[in-house]
């Protein structure tokens, strides 16, 4: 049975502050799984429009109340401010060569389900070239590679304090209980072609959840240095791989995936050394984006935390300029796509993992994270879907000329 879709506009009074419009539009999905789509009045913040799945009039008034309460709490608990732009380069007015829809329609891009994409040979080689570009940069700054698992234990993520801050993003990993009764019954149902049991095994047949898919790379770096005293002023490592964030209905093209690829360079050292490293890293990365022919800007930012059902902007990160994002102009609602971030964690992780500096003090850490799929998406919309026709400097920067 296909549920009927109805659109409802909820007036917001007082209007939503500009700085919260995007977070509310993306966070409102977590109010109810009946919300199929959401639009916030970007111009004035006076309404939020919801496309609802099979909602009766009675349910509608409940849902309206839930959404209004949530928006109210979010506004009350957030500091609404405008991010500051630290730097801007390139010619954003140069225009786009392809739409995100054209990118998605590329014959070399295969959808493997919602938020899951595969690249065929042509895009895979660009993807590989992009990874090698960051490999060269990582080597240039003196980072050494690590190979890390894509799964993290919940004990580990709890130790990193991730679980309470971003519960909406978690994806748990489970398996069957060790019980041949359970396992054989499942195998038998699958053998019969029973799609229902194959796709939704009963919860009581599964073991309890002790693991999750990693949401970022750097969480696994700290345990590798647990209890260590650093020999030098700064220790740099790099790693890349798939990261997973459940983004509800926000999952779109290459720019918002469930399974996306991240490249990270992670720094451990004295507070001063990490801070200087991050500034230098931003310089080098901006140079690379210029060489790729991608305009952009660096701006202060912060991660919206979800606490007791509302989005809380991290005033802490903001107050200390702990997060910068690199944004590239992109034909989406925001007009920009965040393709990389530069973060300082102060002693947050090092204190949890007993990592100390050469001088015996609790170390600081920082990371710079690149969203490889997003950078690929940015290249495709700016330079077009025909990789062979990309500007010579872009191809040269990626080593695609050979």
Interface residues toward ligand 5GP, by CB under 6 A: 216, 245, 247, 254-257, 260, 262, 338-341, 369, 371, 373-374
261 close to 370: Cβ distance less than 8 angstroms: no
- C-beta closer to ligand 5GP: residue 63 or 372: 372
Spatial CB neighbours of 109, under 8 Å, sequence gap ≥ 6: 103, 117, 118, 119, 120, 123, 254
CA angle (312, 314, 317) in 5-degree steps: 175
Of positions 109, 117, 126, 218, contacts Zn ion by CB under 5 A: 218
- C-beta closer to ligand 5GP: residue 374 or 382: 374
Residues in contact with Zn ion, shown as a per-residue x/- string from 35 to 74 under the rule CB under 5 A = ----------------------------------------
- C-beta closer to ligand 5GP: residue 100 or 371: 371
- C-beta closer to ligand 5GP: residue 117 or 398: 117
371 binds, among Zn ion, ligand 5GP, none (CB under 5 to 8 A by kind): ligand 5GP
Q: How far is the CB of 360 from Zn ion (least distance, A)?
A: 25
Q: How far is the CB of 288 from Zn ion (least distance, A)?
A: 18
Decide if residue 236 touches Zn ion (CB under 5 A). no
290 close to 90: Cβ distance less than 8 angstroms: yes
H-helix or E-strand spanning residue 269: strand 259-269
Q: How far is the CB of 27 from ligand 5GP (least distance, A)?
A: 14
Up-side HSE of residue 331: CA atoms within 13 Å toward CB? 17
Rounded to whole angstroms, the Cα distance separating 373 from 257 reads 9
Spatial CB neighbours of 263, under 8 Å, sequence gap ≥ 6: 131, 134, 217, 238, 239, 240, 369, 370, 372
Decide if residue 367 touches Zn ion (CB under 5 A). yes
Burial call 3-27: b when 16+ CB within 10 Å, e when fewer: eeeeebebebeeebeeebbebbbbb
Token output for 198: 């194959």
Q: How far is the CB of 378 from ligand 5GP (least distance, A)?
A: 9
Decide if residue 138 touches Zn ion (CB under 5 A). no
340 binds, among Zn ion, ligand 5GP, none (CB under 5 to 8 A by kind): ligand 5GP
Question: Contacts with Zn ion in 284-303 (CB under 5 A)?
Answer: none
- C-beta closer to ligand 5GP: residue 245 or 357: 245
262 binds, among ligand 5GP, Zn ion, none (CB under 5 to 8 A by kind): ligand 5GP
- C-beta closer to Zn ion: residue 263 or 390: 263
Q: Write out the DSSP string of 91-152.
A: -GGG--SS-HHHHHT-TTEEE-STT-EEE-HHHHHHHHHHHHHHHHHHHHTT-EE----SEE
């Amino acid at each position: 049975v296909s549920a009927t879709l109805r659109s409802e506009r909820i007036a917001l009074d007082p209007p939503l502050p500009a700085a919260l419009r995007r977070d509310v539009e993306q966070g409102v999905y977590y109010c109810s799984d009946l919300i199929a789509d959401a639009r916030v009045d970007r111009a004035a913040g006076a309404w939020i429009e919801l496309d609802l799945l099979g909602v009766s009039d009675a349910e509608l008034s409940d849902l309206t109340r839930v959404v209004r309460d949530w928006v109210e709490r979010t506004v009350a608990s957030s500091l609404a401010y405008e991010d500051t732009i630290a730097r801007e380069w390139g010619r954003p007015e140069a225009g786009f060569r392809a739409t995100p829809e054209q990118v998605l329609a590329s014959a070399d891009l295969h959808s493997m389900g919602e938020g899951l994409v595969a690249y065929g040979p042509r895009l895979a080689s660009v993807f590989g070239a992009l990874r090698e570009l960051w490999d060269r940069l990582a080597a240039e700054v003196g980072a050494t590679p690590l190979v890390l698992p894509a799964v993290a234990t919940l004990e580990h993520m709890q130790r990193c304090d991730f679980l309470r801050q971003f519960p909406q993003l978690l994806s748990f990993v489970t398996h069957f209980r060790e019980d041949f009764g359970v396992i054989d019954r499942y195998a038998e149902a699958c053998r019969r072609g029973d799609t229902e049991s194959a796709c939704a095994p009963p919860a009581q047949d599964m073991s309890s959840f002790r693991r999750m898919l990693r949401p970022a790379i750097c969480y696994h770096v700290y345990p590798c240095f647990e209890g260590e005293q650093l020999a030098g002023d700064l220790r740099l490592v790099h790693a890349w791989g798939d990261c997973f964030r459940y983004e509800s209905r926000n999952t779109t093209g290459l720019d918002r995936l469930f399974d996306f690829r991240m490249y990270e360079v992670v720094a451990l050292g004295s507070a001063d050394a990490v801070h200087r490293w991050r500034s230098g890293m931003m310089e080098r990365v901006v140079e690379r984006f210029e060489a790729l022919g991608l305009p952009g800007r660096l701006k202060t930012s912060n991660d919206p935390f979800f606490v007791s059902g509302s989005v809380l902007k991290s005033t802490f990160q903001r107050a200390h300029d702990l997060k910068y994002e690199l944004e590239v102009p992109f034909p989406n609602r925001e007009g920009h796509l965040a393709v990389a971030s530069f973060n300082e964690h102060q002693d947050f992780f090092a204190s949890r993992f007993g990592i100390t500096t050469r001088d015996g003090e609790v170390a600081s850490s920082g990371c710079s994270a690149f969203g490889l799929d997003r950078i690929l998406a940015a290249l495709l919309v700016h330079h077009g879907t025909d990789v062979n026709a990309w500007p010579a400097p872009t191809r040269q920067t990626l080593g695609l000329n050979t």
